[in-house]
Amino acid sequence: MKSNRAVVKAMSHKSAGQSLAPQVREILAKLGEDPGREGLLRTPDRVDRALKFLTSGYGVDIRKILNGALYEVKYDEMVLVKDIEFFSLCEHHLLPFYGKVHVAYLPRQRVIGLSKLPRIVDVFARRLQIQERLTQDVAQTIQEVVNPLGVGVICEARHFCMMMRGVEKQHSGAMTSAMLGAFRDRKETRDEFLALVNHRSNGF
């Protein structure tokens, strides 16, 4: 049986070419607006394009993103790309959350092109998400693709569903982490990762 996530992915592929504009017009009307007034005439089409872009990660094949960017190299120290900016949509309210992701891994026999790590983050951020799953998705994908000794991912984000509604706390943030392999089993590896993430040098 397919997982819920696999089912959602299959449904998104099937409906990817369908316009959401009629449904957006209906929502505008139910909100008490006039979808026919000048300022809203093109809004349904804009919303359709925006939502399809913001959820475009469903249709991305990770293998095509990597495009052979795995390299055999004798390097066994930590590789870290930090402050990877992202935007995503909360699956509970369809409101944005945004922030940055720090990704590190310990190579075993090969490394991945540095630009591919932000691309992997984007694939999973451009889906309906929760921060905890986004963090885990990125870590597990790198573990499966690169097969390193371990992976560490930290995600820092602010959520509009907390800032604009509900508790309305504009300055609160959330942090999540996923530690796999050596990052979970070895305290010194985890501590090095955290120290590098928190380090701020001039111009970097």
Q: Which active-site residues does the annotation give?
A: 90-93, 131, 159, 161
Q: Which of 159, 121, 117 is nearest to 137 (CA)?
A: 121
CB 102 within 8 A of CB 142: no
Q: Which of 105, 75, 114 is nearest to 183 (CA)?
A: 105
- Tokens 């959330």 — which residue? 174
Q: In what side-by-side order are the strands of the sheet with 79-90? A: 128-129, 79-90, 96-106, 150-159, 174-181
Q: Which of 43, 107, 39, 101 is nearest to 72 (CA)?
A: 107
- Tokens 């089912």 — which residue? 7
